[in-house]
Amino acid sequence: MPPRFIDTNVLLRYFTRDDEEKAQRALELLNRVERGEERVETLAIVIFETVFTLQTFYQVARPRIRDLLIPILDLPGLRLVDKDLLRNALDLYVARRRLSFADAYHAAYVLRQGEGEMYTWDRGFDGIPGFTRVEP
């Protein structure tokens, strides 16, 4: 049987505990994934949605968002492409307050290629070591 997909709302219920019954069920699922009893998969867009919702709706601070998500990314039973890229993006998101999580992800991607360049007018990228912003 292929892994089941885990959606944003499961992570949000777990993190926010705004519905205690669902939070408990999410915790039980994540515990099974951590113990390797169940395998799940998700996509980067779920992480993006989670970051966005925690930041804008729940007013969670950037460092706390990173601290909540890293253990999820580290779950051995979670299949997710580019976990390292997402971890690096979360670090940049915390370190560079002028960057949205999407822009932090873009910068992390460019940096993964080596010292990289990106066409953009967004000055929020300025000063990132190894990253060069190039205006078209």
Residue 57 lies in a domain: yes
Task: Report how many domains make up the chain.
Answer: 2
Residue 56 confidence (pLDDT): 97
Please indicate, yes or no, whether residues 123 and 60 belong to a single structural domain of this protein: no
Please indicate, yes or no, whether residues 63 and 31 belong to a single structural domain of this protein: yes
CA angle 115, 86, 77 (to 5 degrees): 135
Q: What is the mean pLDDT of the chain?
A: 96
For residue 119, pLDDT over 80 is answered with yes
Q: What is the pLDDT of residues 77-102, one digit of tens each?
A: 999 999 999 999 999 999 999 999 99
Tell me the residue range of the domain where 121 lies: 97-136
Please indicate, yes or no, whether residues 75 and 12 belong to a single structural domain of this protein: yes
Q: Using a cut of 0.85, tell me whether the model's pTM lies above it.
A: yes
For residue 1, pLDDT over 80 is answered with no
Please indicate, yes or no, whether residues 15 and 57 belong to a single structural domain of this protein: yes
**In angstroms, what is the C-alpha Rg of the chain?**
16
